[in-house]
Amino acid sequence: MDSPAPDDTLQALQLAFELSPVGMCVTAQRRVTLCNPAFGQMFGYQADELLGQPLAPLYPSHEEYVHVGNLGLPVLRETGTYGDERIMKRRDGNLFWCHVVGRAVDRSDPFACAVWMFEDISRRRPMVGRLTLREREIAQQILTGGTSKQIARLLGISPRTVEAHRARLMKKLGAANHGELIARLAGLP
């Protein structure tokens, strides 16, 4: 079987990018250099409106943008890829859960150029209640199975502080125990 002509391959790649059901983007120094329509729609923009723009406005706060960058950078340097499930923000200010995975072009300078996939997972994990920045960070870590000690180390706070936030989360979400808290955070009935 013959190999496809270079023009056919380029067309197929462009078609896959444009019609992908998940958001895809290429970033340089955490600014969008290229994105597909699904990426723009997920956040409430036309794709071309995001070109050249920083990713920061797509996060619930500037602190979360910085925090995720600080978490991801060493992992990208070590492995070349980073992924997580995090809360993001649409143009209209609504928050939603998003699965994000990216790969650095150059591990020695991961933010110079990276390719990212963003999947809106709000159907299976709807937002519950209005949470503070710290509550969102802790909720994200609870959902990944982190213990209070692990979460405290990751966020640079004490385990006792994590427990206090966990207790507030349980009260806000009406959870009687840890299992119910996880279920509520995950959007389960």
Strand partners, 115: 26, 103
**Domain total of the chain:** 2
> pLDDT (tens digit, 9 = 90+) per residue, 47-104?
999 999 999 999 999 999 998 999 999 999 999 999 998 999 999 999 998 999 999 9
- The predicted structure's pLDDT at residue 96: 92
Tell me, yes or no, whether 128 lies in a domain. Answer: no
Mean predicted lDDT score pLDDT of the chain:
90
Per the structure, the complete domain to which residue 141 belongs is given by: 133-185
Same domain, 67 and 140: no
Closest by CA to 28, choosing from 135, 106, 121, 127, is 106
Residue-level pLDDT at 1? 61
Same domain, 101 and 139: no
Nearest CA to 42 among 81, 100, 129, 128?
A: 100
Tokens of 10: 């380029």
Domain co-membership, 111 together with 154: no
Query: 159-185 pLDDT, tens per residue?
Result: 999 999 989 888 888 888 888 888 877
